[in-house]
Amino acid sequence: MRPKRVEDPIKQLQSLLTDRSKVLERISGIHAMLDSMKSPASSAASIESSPNTPSVAPAPTAEPYDRLSHMLRDMQSQIENQVRPLAQQAIDFEVQRLRERAAIDQQDLRGCLEQIDRCVSACIQRAREYQREHAELSLSNGRLTALGALPVPLPECASDITEIIDSRLQWLRVQQKI
């Protein structure tokens, strides 16, 4: 036994809306025709104005008009009852799709934050290496001075790692790299 094929609710809704617009056009045409039949005063005035015109059948009574009007309202109601569940199905489908997309996007964001955390940890490790090497260079400069040589100029080194990172970020801003 083959599984029942589920058609895309959005396509079903589109086809019903297309058919519905045709049906609504027909309903509007029937309404217009009924309205013209219901107003006997306008047809009576045209009969009196031209005496040579053959007699026109009298306007239909209100009962057939009411029945047709009732049938039209029933048709409209049936169309709306068919479209409403499909519209709700399409909305539910879109909500589910958006939720799935949001879950994927959230997972991607978490991955980005994890990568940032790894980069920041690596940056902190490099800043500690920088501090250690700066301290070794300072010791070497002290030995050079003790031996009577001129010390090598050293860049400044902040004692706090956040100051080192802040100064590098500032330097990157000046270089217009961030």
pLDDT tens digit sequence for 65-89:
888 888 888 888 888 888 888 889 9
Where would I find the H helices in the chain?
9-38, 40-49, 62-146, 161-174
**Cβ partners under 8 Å of residue 78, min gap 6:** none
Residue 95 vs residues 89, 92, 159: alpha-carbon distances, Å: 10, 5, 53
DSSP for residue 52: T
C-alpha Rg value of the chain to the nearest Å: 42
- In this structure, are residues 172 and 178 in contact, taking their beta carbons and an 8 Å threshold? yes
pLDDT at 42: 44
**72 or 174: which leads in pLDDT:** 174
49 falls in which pLDDT band (50, 70, 90)? very low
Residue 53 vs residues 36, 56, 62, 156, 172: alpha-carbon distances, Å: 19, 8, 25, 111, 95
Q: Model pTM greater than 0.85?
A: no
The rounded percent of the chain whose pLDDT value lies above 70 is 71
CA atoms within 13 A on the CB side of 67: 4
DSSP for residue 160: S
- In this structure, are residues 9 and 90 in contact, taking their beta carbons and an 8 Å threshold? yes
Q: Which of 14-28, 40-54, 95-109, 140-154 has maximum average pLDDT?
A: 95-109
Q: How far apart are alpha carbons 48 and 46 in whole angstroms? A: 6
